[in-house]
Amino acid sequence: MKISTVLDHIDNGLMALPEFQRGYVWNRDQVRGLFSSLYKRHPVGGLLVWATESKGASHRGDGQLASGVVKLLLDGQQRMTSLYGVIRGKPPLFFDGNSQVFTGLHFHLESEAFEFYQPITMRDDPLWVDVTALMKAGQAGLGKMVSSLSAKPEHASRLADYIGRLSTLLGISDVDLHIEEVTGADKSLDVVVDIFNKVNSGGTKLSKGDLALAKICADWPDARAVMKKKLAEWEKEGFDFNLDWLLRSINTTLTGEAKFLYLHDKSADEVQGALKRATRHIETSINMISGRLGLDHSRVFFGRFAVPVMVRYLDQKGTALDEAERDKLLFWFAQAGMWGRYSGSTESYLDKDLEALEGADGGLDRLLEQLRLWHGGLRVEPDHFTGWSKGARFYPVLYMLTRMGGAKDWGTGLPLKANLLGKMNRLEVHHIFPKSKLYKSGRYGRSQINAVANFCFLTKDTNLDITDRAPAEYFPEVEKKHPGALASQWIPLDKSLWTIENYDAFLEARKELLASEANRRFAELLHGDDRWVHQPATAVKVAVPKVIGGIVSEEEELEIIALNKWISSLGLPEGEVSYDLADEETGAQKAIFDLAWPNGLQPGLSQPVAVLLNEGEETIALANAAGYRCFRSSADFKQYVKREILSHAA
**What gap in Å lies between CA 209 and CA 245, rounded to an integer?**
9
Q: Do 135 and 264 have their domain in common? A: no
Question: Is the alpha carbon torsion for 485, 491, 496, 498 positive or negative?
Answer: negative
Residue 472 has pLDDT above 70, yes or no: yes
Q: Do 416 and 352 have their domain in common? A: no
**What gap in Å lies between CA 253 and CA 247, rounded to an integer?**
10
Q: Can you list the alpha helix ranges (DSSP code H) found in 117-171?
A: 119-122, 131-150, 159-170
Residue 126 has pLDDT above 80, yes or no: yes
Residue 414 included in any domain: yes
Residue 537 included in any domain: no
Q: Do 306 and 428 have their domain in common? A: no
pLDDT at 539: 45
Enter the DSSP assignment of 546. P
Residue 66 has pLDDT above 80, yes or no: yes
Residue 323 has pLDDT above 80, yes or no: yes
Average of pLDDT values for 189-198?
64
Domain count, the chain: 4
pLDDT at 350: 94
- Angle value at C-alpha 403, between 400 and 405, nearest 5 degrees: 100
Residue 123 included in any domain: yes
Residue 540 included in any domain: no
Average of pLDDT values for 486-499?
97
Average of pLDDT values for 358-366?
92
Q: Do 73 and 89 have their domain in common? A: yes
* 222-226, 531-535, 565-569, 631-635: segment of lowest average pLDDT: 531-535
Cβ neighbors of 450 (< 8 A, separation 6 or more) are 388, 389, 431, 435, 550, 552, 553
User: Tens digit of pLDDT for each residue in 203-217?
Assistant: 455 567 777 787 787
Quickly state the pLDDT bin for 603 (edges 50, 70, 90).
low
Mean pLDDT: which of 73-87, 276-290, 545-559 is highest? 276-290
Among candidate residues 33, 115, 18, 119, the one with its CA nearest the CA of residue 82:
33
pLDDT at 108: 94
Q: Decide if 35 contacts 87 (C-beta within 8 A).
A: no
* 183-192, 378-387, 582-591: segment of lowest average pLDDT: 183-192
The residue segments making up the domain with residue 459 are: 383-532
Residue 455 carries which side chain, given as an amino acid letter?
F
Question: Of the residues 343, 378, 413, which one is the last residue of a structural domain?
Answer: 378
User: Tens digit of pLDDT for each residue in 250-285?
Assistant: 999 999 999 988 887 888 899 999 999 999 999 999
Between the two ends of the chain, the Cα-to-Cα distance in Å is 20
* 178-187, 275-284, 459-468, 618-627: segment of lowest average pLDDT: 178-187
Q: Do 293 and 319 have their domain in common? A: yes
Q: Buried b vs exposed e over 169-202: b needs ≥16 C-beta within 10 Å?
A: bbebbeeebebeebeeeeeebeebbebbbeebeb
Residue 191 included in any domain: no
Q: Do 234 and 95 have their domain in common? A: no
Quickly state the pLDDT bin for 538 (edges 50, 70, 90).
very low
Average of pLDDT values for 594-616?
82
Average of pLDDT values for 89-117?
89
Q: Do 492 and 370 have their domain in common? A: no
Q: Do 484 and 575 have their domain in common? A: no
pLDDT at 648: 43
Residue 22 has pLDDT above 70, yes or no: no
pLDDT at 544: 59
Name beta bridge partners: 176.
Answer: 2
Q: Do 352 and 498 have their domain in common? A: no
Residue 272 included in any domain: yes
> Could you tell me what percent of the chain has a pLDDT over 70?
90
Q: Do 327 and 457 have their domain in common? A: no
Q: Do 399 and 356 have their domain in common? A: no
Quickly state the pLDDT bin for 294 (edges 50, 70, 90).
very high
Q: Do 497 and 604 have their domain in common? A: no
Residue 185 included in any domain: no
Residue 199 included in any domain: no
